[in-house]
Amino acid sequence: MKRLTQTLAFCLLTVFTAVAQKNYVSEVWVSDLGNGKYKNPVLYADYSDPDACRVGDDFYMTSSSFNCLPGLQILHSKDLVNWTIIGAAVPNALPPIETPERPEHGNRVWAPAIRHHNGEFYIFWGDPDQGAFMVKAKDPKGPWSEPVLVKAGKGIIDTCPFWDEDGKVYMVHAYAGSRAGLKSVITICELNAEANAAITPSRIIFDGHEAHQTCEGPKMYKRNDYYYIFHPAGGVPTGWQVVLRSKNIYGPYEWKTVLAQGNSPVNGPHQGAWVDTPTGEDWFLHFQDVGAYGRIMHLQPMKWVNDWPVIGIDKDGDGCGEPVLTYKKPNVGKTYPICTPQESDEFDGYTLSPQWQWHANINEKWAYYAGDKSYVRLYSYPVLKEYKNLWDVANLLLQKTPSDNFTATMKLTFSPNPKLKGERTGLVVMGRDYAGIILENTDKGLILSQVECKRADKGKPEQANASVDLSQNTVYLKVRFSCDGKKIKGSEGGHDLIVMCNFSYSLDGKKYESLGNPFQAKEGQWIGAKVGMFCTRPAIVTNDGGWTDVDWFRITKK
């Protein structure tokens, strides 16, 4: 472990701070090609339902975070290609605060909208079981206000505020059929001047049942006296992007399909944000669902023809574009250094690094960030009495997968409570199916196992594919993600990439031994597979447990 004396830690604190402020550049995926062009996706990571806004020369983006905390991660860019994580709008807990310590997979934060108005940033989102929430801040890095319930109601999702020129404030939203019993419609209601409460009932302004089934994710704008609503339709893996327009905010609205897969390999190019540059260019951010890697983010050029947007490249002149794979970078008036969202972590800080998320509202008893000693300590936390597998565990510390081919490696030292058997820690690839390489304290001593759990979301049991006895408690764990572009039929009608994971371990950090079987990664509930770590103990009453000190976690090409 990177043990530093207190004196050395103090002396190097400013150095660590300076390093932390430098641009992080991924080893495994960089969209900026360095020649004035970029390749899609600009983020090969699960930034589902992205929305963005520009303030001056700065672009800010957020996306669905569902049950993961910190929630609503905020990303910043100067050119729409190079992004970094600068914070989170919901850092600790989602309302109600008293939720049980069980992950609410796929619930909570759906399809947010980020806007800037009168010197403040606003983020609206829909919680499908509670209604529309809002937070605001003067600085996108925070602090953000506590969430406010703007409009209560089952099934209210995909909310977006809009400030009209006459001072009135509105919110457009969709409905989740699973809660509301109705979907494929777009609605609007008026808000008060503070934008923190609805003052009128919602009113349906567009019905997509005939032409645009599963229309949702509305984003409202105004241009040349037209009100525009950008929305996806057709379903997550196979859909298309639609734009509505009207000169009356309540309609009637005419529609046009402005982006579809066409002959490109980019399936379901939809749901995202229209942004312009300081130089007057128009661009559109959207996601593509690729299965285990989640919904990765693309950037498309956009232009206006007869007051209709055309997104991507319109090869046949029908007004509907196709996605680009490479293109010239946005003209923002300057050239900025390459940067990417953070991935590797040396744990030299005193707070959670911004790429990490827990699987539920955060409990302060889960971890200690020992920046002076350069590790994060994960305390073994009791699983629920109803525990079936890791799908039921909240204290999973995970991050998004950052590329199609990469390796995640971590160094840990496990210090279990000698009086307590069954404490576990390790490296996990989490989804509806999961697998990991896990260290457990047993009656026979420390055992390292490669485990797998198929249909974890259905409560199926975990099984060990291979195990070895260990005579030391410091170990290096590794998983290699591999994808050659082959696909299989997905659960929602699309075709998902086949992602294989292979696990290995080392006792000295140099020579690695394979362990167990190859594992095909599986997405989670509305999120991609995630990779990270955990430390648990059985659901029994004890006054203390053991812990794991994680020295580092690194994302590399090999």
- Kindly list the catalytic residues: 49, 216
Q: Helix count (H) and strand count (E) of the chain?
A: 2, 39
Q: Residue 349 in 3-state DSSP?
A: coil
Helix (H), strand (E), coil (C) string for 258-326:
EECCCCCCCCCCEEEEEEECCCCCEEEEEEEECECCCEEEEEEEEEEECCEEEECECCCCCCCEECCCE
CB burial of residue 540 (10 Å; 0-12, 13-18, 19+): exposed
What is the DSSP-derived secondary structure letter of residue 144? P
On the question of a cis peptide bond just before residue 143, with omega within 30 degrees of 0, the verdict is yes
Query: Going edge to edge, which strands form the sheet with 131-137?
Result: 110-117, 120-127, 131-137, 148-152
Q: For 531-549, what is the HEC assignment?
A: EEEEEEECCCCCCCCCEEE
Whole-number Cα distances in Å, 213 to 177, 252, 297, 494, 498: 12, 18, 23, 16, 28
Please tell me whether residue 420 adopts helix, strand or coil conformation. Answer: coil
Which residue matches tokens 């300057």? 334
Query: What is d(CA 291, CA 523) in angstroms, rounded to the nearest whole number?
Result: 6
Question: And the tokens for 200?
Answer: 């009128």
Q: Tell me the C-alpha distance between 254 and 78, whole Å.
A: 34
Buried b (16+ CB within 10 A) or exposed e, 119-157: eebbbbbbbbebbbbbbbbeebebebbebbbbbebebbb
